[in-house]
Amino acid sequence: MATGASFADLVRRMELVASAQGVDLGELRAVSGGGVGAETDTERGRMVVYPRERETFHVLLCLHLGFTCSEGWTDDLGAVVGVADLWRRGGLLREVHDRFPFMSWDELAQAFEDGAPAPTKWRQLLSSEWHRRDRPLLEAGHAHPDLRMFYPDISHRSLMLIRKPYDMESGTVKIVPLDDDHYRVTMWPGEVRREVTSLDEALDIAAACCRSLSAGDGTGAFAER
């Protein structure tokens, strides 16, 4: 495993390559924690480089803290710097891949870049074998026009509907399956917490919460209904 000094050395090496290429990487810094390497922030998100064995590098372009939109492995530090430069200058995901084929991306990343990730995420969840047992809840949520406008996710069998992906504070509605066809609906922000005895009722409450969040009303207007 590399030492802290080697990570600082990676930053210096990247800066030297960038200088030779005549490009600006912005504030490049060594990082540690869940991963160790070098990173730089851009207006579009963060680029992170992790050194691996045998002088290879793992490169990630991250739109959000929890979402990597493109990644790849290479032993060419010049190419790593080239990816960073193109990304900072606004290169699209396909342009990054065309110039640096080791950088891959998928349909959800493309949907984020196109500005409409929710339909793609719904489609992925609905077709996922991993979430087969959650499919009835997913299908019911997707069938409701007020719910399918939100970005969906599944956590511990609960359907989460997020107003802005990877920004829970923007507004989140959760439908939690309980025992014997009971459901709990919560909304954040807004102190909504309702337990009901049918999925239809849970969907109606969730839809009202989503409309409230879309209108910018997070006051918990449904908490006492």
The residue type found at 32 is S
Cβ atoms of 74 and 82 within 8 Å: the answer is: no
d(CA 85, CA 90): 9
d(CA 90, CA 1): 34
Give the residue-averaged pLDDT of 139-156. Answer: 96
Identify the pLDDT of residue 221: 45
Calculate what percentage of the chain has a pLDDT beyond 90: 72
- 93: nearest Cα among 74, 72, 75: 72
- Per the prediction, the chain carries an average pLDDT of 89
Q: 3-state SS string over 132-171? A: HHHHHHHHHHHHCHHHHCCEEEEECCEEEEEEECCEEEEE
Give the residue-averaged pLDDT of 49-69. Answer: 86
Beta bridge partners of 45: 42
CA angle at 32 for the pair 42 and 3, rounded to the nearest 5° = 125
Q: What is the DSSP letter of 218?
A: -
Q: Select the more confidently predicted residue: 79 or 223.
A: 79
Identify the pLDDT of residue 168: 78
**Residue 109, token pair as written in the block:** 């990343």
| Predicted structure pTM score | 0.83
pLDDT tens digits, one per residue of 19-38: 999 999 999 988 865 567 89
Identify the pLDDT of residue 53: 82
pLDDT tens digits, one per residue of 90-102: 999 999 999 999 9
pLDDT tens digits, one per residue of 179-202: 888 999 999 998 899 999 999 999
Identify the pLDDT of residue 55: 86
- 118: nearest Cα among 161, 84, 70, 150: 150
**Residue 39, token pair as written in the block:** 């990173």
Exposed (0-12), middle (13-18) or buried (19+): which is 124, by Cβ within 10 Å? middle
